[in-house]
Structures are given as structure tokens and as C-alpha cells.
């Protein structure tokens, strides 16, 4: 299955990526990939350890002539986002990713690819396994659970690492060097609701499906204005009590860090208002499609007859829940006043589940400024509490404050310009990187992040540019040669 992928250049990197992608590695289900990393390090005869939370650290001595350079940490995360199209038959728990080459890109059939952060992991593996790549003493740090809580980075204790410089290989544009990122906070709103029974012969059951959206990374791509399936579906339901619409269930989205692509609701309308309701909702569908046509040309909204539900949410609870979802902020909350084109704060209404007497709404709030992150979260909390939800905050992690005077930044910017004849963009990103968390226990470690060009991360459209991987690989080898001398 991976033969054509393994023939790409640099073959050592692509071979390790193919091996990694044969291993199921969902966040919080990393037992197999942790063992994979342990077996890899031990097979090389290198010092290999697993810490108390599951991070894997592999140490390799400096190559000849590089012993006087500062020791480094090369870091990537083992887990990947598991997303698939609704019509894709695939079991992430048992199957390896089905990769293929499409022109200049490597993609996966109907699922996420795992280039985020598998290309970084594979790069580090290739360097650990090499016998002819010059490098200083290095520690490979493979963290767990980056995508759903960063608990690996949070759990890494001080004193475990000895490196003075950290190279994080987890950004997604090959002409960017990242020196800062946003922090994040999970906002969860839960409430119970009452149901009532209405005679089935009076109502028509309908299933409304929203699909075909691009989705994507809820940090990196939140500013693009892509459709959120939960918000679109809820918009269709809002105000439909005029036609006596009754909501039975609502399910949409999956992971907090993925913009929801698909959402579905089971509803019913009285037979005597059916035609008026369908005329109204089709008008809304047309309006929404026109609004999103440029950004979401494949947006599909379907309404199908289905078996009439036996019970519905009471009118009072239904109105409160729908109103709360409608009012919940989704998208960019504030742009940075200090860094051009940087999203400072945002929120993703990531997952909505309304069924079996309970409504649950999961959001991910991000910001590069701690106070505005809390401001967004508290505004959501206030809103949901007005609708009788109980709101909890969890998974809080800090941002990474940019250091424009970083010594390793100077090394990378000069090397990039020398190699490519143009300057790299020095940026901060709205995604969550582990550098800020790691810096709490390693405050003196000089950190930088870079990577190849990856598009569509956290969605089945994820793809990695082949030429960019080679560019990234060559850049990495030059960085290793040019690590500063020990002081």
C-alpha cells in the first residue's frame, strides 16, 4: 500500500512516515504508537525511556566533531487527529492510514493523513537512525495527546531533558519560522431537558443533514470564515416554532480542535404546517448557500422524510437550547493589535450532542493573550448559564510568548535566507504548540518551531506537499550542522 510513498525523496523520511502511519495513534489511544517508538529506540541501541505519562525520550550522542555544540531537543507529538468523511468505511483503531500520491501532494483516502505531526516524528526517526548525518547531542521527545489536551507536554517533568535548544517540528508552512502560539481552554456546557409525547399521526418526521463543508484546524484556519456545520444546522432550526417544529435530537462535530464539517438533526413538524415549513427552510438553505458559495462550494443540506419520533423536547427547553447555540460566538473574536494578521482570540463551537434527555456543547477557546482567552470563555459561560446549562472549564494550557531575540531564531533566519535567497516569515500562530507548556518547566530552553507545508490539517482534506518535505528536510540538516557552540 505504501510502496509509491516510500520511493519519494528523502526516502529515509518517507519510509519512517509510512511505518508510523501503519500504527493506529488516536489521541488518548496511543498505547500502540508509544510501543512503536520504544521499540524503534531500543532497536537502535539508544537510551530510550517512557516517562510517567507516556512521553517517549530517545537520546543519541553527538556525531564526531559535534561534541562541542549545544545539546538539542527535537520534538514532535505521536498522536494524530482522527477524522473521516461520513461515507468512508474506516476503523482508526485497527487500520493504517490509506495514503496515495496526487500530483504534488500526499493525501489519504477519506481520512486525515497524519502529516500533522507524523512528518515531524518521521524526520526525527530518520536522524536517530542515521549514520552519516552530523548533529550535536540530541534528545528526541515524542509527546502524547497533543491534539486533545496536550497532557503529554503538561505532564513532562522538569529535569527530564538536558538540551539547551528545542526544535519543534509542528508548523505547517515551509516559509515560516514560528516563535509564538495561542493557548487554549475547553469550555463544556451541559444541561438536561424534558421531553413529551405527541401523537405520531399528527406529525411528519424529517432528518436534516448538513455536510460537504471543508472543516479544518480550528486554530490555523479559523480566520478563513469556513462554515461550521453545528451553527448552520442550528440556524435552520432557529425561530421555526412558528411552524410548530419539534426537535428530537441533534448531533454534529467531533473533536474540539476541528471545525465541524457535518451535523444532523431529527425533527418533526405538524402535517398541517409541513408545506409552509419546507418553503421557509428551503429559502434559508438557499440564502446560506449563497453566503458561503465562495468559501464552501460543496456545502450540501438535505432534508429527508424519516420515521416520526415518539417524543420531543418540550417547547420551552427547545427554545432555550437553540437560542443558546445561536448566540454562542464562533470564529474570530479579536485580531491582535500588536502582530499583523494574527488572530488573538477565537472560539470553535466544536461539538453538539442533544439526545436522551441531555444537551452537551463542547467549545475550544484560543488566545495568545491569557486575559482575552478567559474573556471569551467567560462570555460563553455567561450565555450558557442564562439557558440553564452548567459550564465547566478544562484542558487549560498557556500560549507561547514570542522571543524576537532568540539565538536559535537568528540561526534559522540566516540559514533560510542563505539557502533560498529570500527571508523566511517570522510569525506567531493561532494554533496550539507545546512550546509554551514545555517552557514552564524549562524556562531557559531556547525554542523554535518550523515544518513543511501541510494543508487541511484536522480534516479528511489533509495533505502534505512533497517538494516542501524535501525542502524541510534539507533545512533541518543544515540547522543541525549549525547549532551554536557551547558557552
Show which residues are catalytic: 79, 146
Give the separation between CA 95 and CA 17, rounded to whole angstroms. Answer: 15
Give the separation between CA 443 and CA 438, rounded to whole angstroms. Answer: 8
Q: What is the dihedral of CA 467, 465, 477, 69, to 10 degrees?
A: 150
Give the separation between CA 453 and CA 458, rounded to whole angstroms. Answer: 14
Give the separation between CA 161 and CA 445, rounded to whole angstroms. Answer: 10
Question: Of the candidates 269, 378, 229, 248, which has an alpha carbon nearest to the alpha carbon of residue 317?
Answer: 248
Give the separation between CA 288 and CA 374, rounded to whole angstroms. Answer: 31
Residue holding cell 437553540?
Answer: 322
Amino acid at each position: 500500500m505504501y510502496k509509491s510513498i516510500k520511493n519519494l525523496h528523502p526516502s529515509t523520511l518517507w519510509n519512517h512516515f509510512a511505518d508510523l502511519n501503519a500504527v493506529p495513534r488516536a489521541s488518548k489511544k496511543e498505547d500502540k504508537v508509544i510501543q512503536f517508538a520504544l521499540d524503534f529506540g531500543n532497536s537502535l541501541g539508544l537510551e530510550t525511556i517512557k516517562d510517567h505519562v507516556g512521553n517517549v525520550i530517545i537520546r543519541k550522542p553527538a556525531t564526531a566533531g559535534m561534541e562541542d555544540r549545544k545539546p538539542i531537543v527535537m520534538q514532535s507529538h505521536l498522536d494524530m487527529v482522527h477524522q473521516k468523511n461520513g461515507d468512508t468505511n474506516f476503523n482508526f483503531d485497527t487500520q493504517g492510514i490509506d495514503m496515495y500520491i496526487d500530483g504534488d501532494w500526499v493525501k489519504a483516502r477519506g481520512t486525515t493523513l497524519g502529516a500533522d505531526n507524523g512528518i515531524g516524528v518521521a524526520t526525527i526517526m530518520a536522524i536517530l537512525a542515521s549514520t552519516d548525518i552530523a548533529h550535536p547531542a540530541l534528545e528526541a521527545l515524542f509527546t502524547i495527546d497533543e491534539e486533545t489536551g496536550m497532557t503529554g507536554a503538561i505532564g513532562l517533568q522538569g529535569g527530564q531533558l538536558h538540551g539547551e535548544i528545542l526544535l519543534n517540528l509542528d508548523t505547517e508552512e515551509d516559509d515560516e519560522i514560528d516563535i509564538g502560539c495561542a493557548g487554549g481552554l475547553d469550555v463544556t456546557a451541559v444541561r438536561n431537558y424534558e421531553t413529551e409525547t405527541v401523537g405520531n399521526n399528527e406529525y411528519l418526521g424529517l432528518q436534516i443533514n448538513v455536510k460537504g463543508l471543508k472543516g479544518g484546524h480550528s486554530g490555523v484556519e479559523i480566520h478563513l470564515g469556513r462554515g461550521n456545520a453545528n451553527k448552520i444546522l442550528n440556524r435552520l432550526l432557529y425561530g421555526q416554532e412558528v411552524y410548530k417544529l419539534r426537535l428530537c435530537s441533534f448531533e454534529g462535530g467531533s473533536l474540539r480542535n476541528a471545525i465541524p464539517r457535518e451535523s444532523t438533526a431529527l425533527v418533526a413538524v405538524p402535517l398541517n404546517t409541513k408545506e409552509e415549513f419546507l418553503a421557509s427552510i428551503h429559502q434559508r438553505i438557499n440564502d446560506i448557500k449563497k453566503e458561503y458559495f465562495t468559501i464552501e462550494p460543496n456545502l450540501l443540506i438535505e432534508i429527508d422524510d424519516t420515521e416520526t419520533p415518539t417524543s420531543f423536547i418540550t417547547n420551552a427547553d427547545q427554545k432555550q437550547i437553540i437560542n443558546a447555540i445561536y448566540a454562542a460566538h464562533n470564529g474570530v473574536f479579536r485580531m491582535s493589535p500588536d502582530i499583523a494578521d494574527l488572530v488573538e482570540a477565537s472560539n470553535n463551537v466544536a461539538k453538539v450532542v442533544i439526545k436522551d434527555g441531555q444537551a452537551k456543547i463542547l467549545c475550544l477557546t484560543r488566545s495568545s493573550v491569557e486575559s482575552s482567552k478567559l474573556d471569551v470563555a467567560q462570555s460563553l459561560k455567561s450565555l450558557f448559564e442564562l439557558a440553564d446549562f452548567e459550564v465547566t472549564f478544562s484542558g487549560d494550557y498557556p500560549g507561547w510568548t514570542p522571543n524576537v531575540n532568540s539565538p536559535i531564531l537568528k540561526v534559522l533566519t540566516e540559514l533560510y535566507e542563505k539557502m533560498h535567497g529570500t527571508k523566511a516569515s517570522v510569525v506567531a500562530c493561532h494554533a496550539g504548540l507545546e512550546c509554551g507548556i514545555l517552557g514552564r518547566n524549562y524556562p531557559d530552553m531556547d525554542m523554535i518551531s518550523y515544518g513543511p507545508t501541510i494543508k487541511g490539517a484536522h480534516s479528511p482534506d489533509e495533505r502534505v506537499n512533497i517538494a516542501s518535505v524535501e525542502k524541510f528536510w534539507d533545512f533541518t540538516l543544515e540547522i543541525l550542522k549549525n547549532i551554536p557552540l557551547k558557552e
